[in-house]
């Protein structure tokens, strides 16, 4: 343990955010990393616990705290404190394929379980992780690791999101020949088109792709697997197939027939149109992107967003950069408290209201938090040409497991763009169907308990498609575990 009393001597410092007025003018990453000396102090706060909950991934009251990858957090925090960054990086990559992704977009389940958080602020594990991986790229610690011996086995991975990439990375390093098939024009899945550039610059995804290609992974983009004949051909040509196509079916909106109203969009379609414009223009200037005719633009519009999670937060940040006239978000659940209550003690997942970067931006620009809880949409009002112009909201209360409208609480607000960010309804059924894999009532590909093998021999599934809508860190963990099972299936044993 490098600094025995570090948790007493140093206060927590997180990476700084660029000023709101500056950052809403572009799509550049908004976090500013701490300097090396400050980062060492933050790593020195780690208590090096005998039983480190931060890497436990324990489930309490149906919510997980602690890292699903079981990262060796105290070990690499200690190495940062000792200025042994190379050793810290070596410990980090033993359990994590892509720290440059999780170090930017993970909600830090590890920090929720940090014992320093019981009475004080937790260690800034999330930022420390990002420091190590970026230092490794900068200093050249990271070089292509090309397997010296190939197994002669071939694996096809369908989908190139975090689960697919993790499975491909693991199996390639094991010596198998891996090819990844992606229907979009770029790899990454939600890393590329679901997470805005200001949270994860797409050059970071492209950097990892180039490294994996040098190591032997083959990527096929603009390649959609959509017929039974193609699926059968892949099963013949490859020794195993892994389905990692995500949980992309949007949750149905029941308040109105949105197909007849112009101005209602799903969150992923909205975010994707903006990100494609960022890549198309090669510009991070918000003015350039908002003016693109192919973008679903919020410029000058009153925007309503249905949802209160990370995706809704990303949508708020994006409409702010478009130059919206106003933004209003809503969720049916109760507003969480601003700090822990006795009913939600450490180390349970903290049920508190967190200030996302997008909500912060809206509050600064418009003078108030855009979030409204215990609220939903009762009716959409369109003009004579079918364009959305207003929404009728209503307050709700939860009774007997369902939300009940509060009569007389209706409110009419202006709205020319409604973004639905209220979750997903499971995976798209077509791909598992043509591979002979079944899908359960939750929209997840069915597998045996504790296994990633589907009903079809040699066909596996991982990530959101298998687990259900979840976090990037869980997708990576699933991809790694699935790769281990595939390796054993191919070789009769696994290392």
- pTM check: above 0.85: yes
Question: Which residues make Cβ contacts (< 8 Å) with residue 413, sequence separation at least 6?
Answer: 302, 304, 328, 390, 391, 393
d(CA 480, CA 470): 16
**Cα 182–Cα 188–Cα 192 angle in degrees, nearest 5:** 120
- pLDDT for 3 equals 84
Residues in the chain with pLDDT < 50?
Answer: none
CATH topology for 258-420?
Answer: FAD/NAD(P)-binding domain (3.50.50)
Predicted pLDDT at 260: 86
437, 218 contact by CB (below 8 A):
no
Pick the CATH number of 154-248+425-491 from 3.50.50.60, 3.50.30.50, 3.30.930.10, 3.20.20.140: 3.50.50.60
pLDDT at 400: 87
| Residue 188 backbone zone (phi > 0: left; psi -120 to 50: alpha; other: beta) | left
> Domain 6-139 adopts which CATH fold?
Fumarate Reductase Iron-sulfur Protein; Chain B, domain 2 (1.10.1060)
- Same fold? 6-139, 154-248+425-491: no
Rounded CA separation 324/418 (Å): 12
Region of residue 152 (phi > 0: left; psi between -120 and 50: alpha; otherwise: beta): left
Distance CA 48, CA 125 (A): 12
Distance (Å, rounded) from C-alpha 297 to C-alpha 290?
6
Give the model confidence (pLDDT) of 315-329 as tens digits.
999 999 999 999 999
**Most distant pair of Cα atoms in the chain: their distance:** 71
Which residues sit opposite 157 in a β-bridge?
180, 242
Phi, psi values for residue 459, rounded to 5°: -110, 125
pLDDT at 2: 61
Residue 484 burial (10 A CB sphere; 0-12, 13-18, 19+): middle
- What letter would DSSP give residue 260? G
Give 271's Cβ-side CA count (13 Å radius): 25
CA pseudo-torsion sign 206, 31, 266, 460: positive
H or E segment to which residue 171 belongs? helix 162-174
E strand or H helix that includes residue 485: helix 472-491
- For residue 1, the model assigns a pLDDT of 58
Q: Find the helix packing angle between 310-322 and 267-281, rounded to 10°.
A: 50
- pLDDT tens digit sequence for 248-304: 887 777 777 788 899 999 999 999 999 999 999 888 999 999 889 999 999 999 999
The contacts of residue 350 (CB under 8 Å, 6+ apart) are: 112, 340, 344
**Residues with Cβ < 8 Å from 155, sequence gap 6 or more?**
168, 171, 176, 177, 178, 179, 238, 239, 240, 241, 242, 486, 490
Q: Which of 110, 118, 34, 122 is nearest to 72 (CA)?
A: 110
Q: Of all residues in the chain, what percent are helix, strand and coil, respectively (each to 5)?
A: 35, 20, 45
Domain boundaries in the chain? 6-139, 154-248+425-491, 258-420
The phi, psi pair for 54, rounded to 5°, reads -60, -25
Q: What is each CA distance from 379 to 99, 306, 394, in whole angstroms?
A: 44, 13, 9
Cα–Cα distance, 308 to 371 (Å, whole number)? 7
């Amino acid at each position: 343990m490098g600094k025995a009393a570090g948790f007493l001597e140093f206060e927590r410092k997180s990476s700084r955010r660029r000023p709101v007025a500056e950052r809403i003018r572009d799509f550049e990453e908004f976090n500013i990393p701490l300097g090396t000396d400050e980062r060492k102090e933050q790593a020195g706060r780690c208590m090096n616990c005998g039983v480190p909950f931060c890497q436990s991934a324990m489930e309490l009251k149906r919510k997980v705290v602690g890292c699903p990858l079981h990262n060796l957090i105290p070990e690499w925090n200690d190495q940062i404190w000792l200025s042994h960054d190379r050793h810290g990086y070596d410990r980090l990559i033993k359990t994590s394929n892509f720290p440059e992704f999780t170090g930017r977009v993970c909600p830090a389940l590890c920090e929720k379980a940090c014992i320093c958080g019981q009475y004080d602020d937790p260690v800034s594990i999330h930022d420390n992780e990002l420091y190590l991986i970026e230092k490794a790229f900068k200093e050249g610690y990271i070089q292509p690791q090309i397997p010296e011996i190939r197994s002669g086995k071939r694996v096809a991975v369908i989908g190139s999101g975090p689960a697919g990439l993790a499975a491909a990375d693991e199996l390639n390093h094991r010596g198998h020949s891996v090819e990844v098939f992606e229907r979009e024009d770029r790899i990454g899945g939600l890393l590329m088109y679901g997470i805005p550039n200001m949270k994860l610059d797409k050059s970071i995804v492209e950097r990892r792709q180039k490294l994996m290609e040098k190591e032997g992974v083959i990527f096929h983009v603009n390649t959609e697997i959509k017929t039974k004949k193609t699926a059968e051909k892949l099963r013949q040509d490859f020794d195993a197939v892994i389905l990692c196509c995500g949980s992309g079916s949007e949750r149905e909106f029941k308040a109105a027939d949105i197909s007849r109203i112009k101005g209602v969009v799903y969150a992923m379609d909205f975010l994707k149109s903006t990100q494609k414009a960022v890549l198309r223009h090669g510009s991070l200037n918000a003015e350039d992107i908002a003016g693109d005719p192919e973008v679903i633009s919020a410029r000058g519009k009153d925007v309503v967003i249905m949802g209160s999670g990370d995706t809704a937060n990303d949508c708020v940040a994006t409409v702010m950069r478009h130059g919206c006239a106003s933004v209003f978000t809503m969720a049916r659940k109760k507003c969480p408290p601003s700090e822990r209550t006795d009913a939600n003690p450490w180390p349970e997942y903290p049920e508190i209201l967190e200030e996302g970067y997008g909500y912060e931006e809206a509050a600064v620009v418009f003078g108030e938090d855009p979030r409204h809880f215990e609220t939903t949409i009762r009716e959409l009002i369109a003009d004579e040409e079918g364009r959305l112009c207003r929404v009728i909201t209503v307050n709700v209360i939860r009774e007997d497991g369902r939300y009940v409208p509060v009569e007389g609480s209706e409110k009419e607000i202006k709205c020319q763009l409604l973004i639905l960010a209220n979750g997903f309804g499971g995976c798209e059924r077509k791909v598992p169907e043509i591979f002979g894999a079944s899908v359960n009532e939750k929209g997840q590909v069915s597998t045996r308990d504790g296994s990633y093998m589907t009903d079809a021999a040699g066909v596996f599934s991982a990530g959101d498609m298998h687990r259900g809508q979840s976090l990037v860190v869980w997708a990576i963990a699933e991809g790694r575990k699935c790769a281990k099972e595939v390796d054993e299936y191919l070789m009769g044993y696994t290392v």
